[in-house]
Amino acid sequence: MSELHTKTANPGPLGLLGFGMTTVLLNLHNSGLLPLSIVIVAMGIALGGLAQILAGIREMRQGNTFAGTAFTAYGLFWWSLVIIWVNPFPGIEAADKTSLAFYLLLWGIFTLFMFIGTLKHNKATQVVFGSLTILFMLLALGDFTGNHTITIIAGFEGIFCGLSAIYSAMGQIINAEFGKEIIPLG
């Protein structure tokens, strides 16, 4: 009897698109180019949150601890950020700048360690995690100091970060479709 082999799809591009597209939208807000609206909140719940969590679970099932941890954690980041913005819990104080700064700092520290893990990956992944580390640190610094200019600078850096994730996702998809490197990932 012959066994039926099915090809397993790469969940990475979905996770990267969920991260990248949501990150671009949020940082259009941080840079002062867009107001915080339901567009960003909805994208954070659906693509930033759900799509990344699904990709993370698929990565874990395929034995990829790094991508599984990254996508699941950052998907849950988006859901937690939306909860912070919406604050659906009566009687619990809204987040102040200091608590939000510590939240962002913790994500920055986590991302720094994930960046170290990317030193075993391609250059595109290193750019995504390196720029994300910088983004979280700048956002935390902006909230700690109350200096809105730092947040605006972080916003533009975050747009770059999100676009780098989109580039990586598109590179993986297009390269796989053509069976050769069309978009260099390093």
- Confidence at residue 6, expressed as pLDDT on a 0 to 100 scale: 79
Residue 95 lies in a domain: yes
pLDDT digits (tens, 9 = 90+) for 46-101: 999 999 999 999 999 999 999 999 999 999 999 999 999 999 999 999 999 999 99
pTM (2 d.p.): 0.94
Residue 1 lies in a domain: no
Residue-range definition of the domain harbouring residue 30: 12-178
Question: Mapping DSSP to helix (H, G, I), strand (E, B) and coil, where does residue 179 land?
Answer: coil
Radius of gyration of the chain (CA): 17
Contacts of residue 85, Cβ cutoff 8 Å, sequence gap at least 6: 36, 41
What's the whole-number mean pLDDT along residues 134-160? 98
Residue 185 lies in a domain: no
Q: How many domains does the chain have?
A: 1
- Confidence at residue 22, expressed as pLDDT on a 0 to 100 scale: 98
Residue 55 lies in a domain: yes
Whole-angstrom CA distances from 14 to 42, 54, 74, 168 are: 17, 9, 13, 11
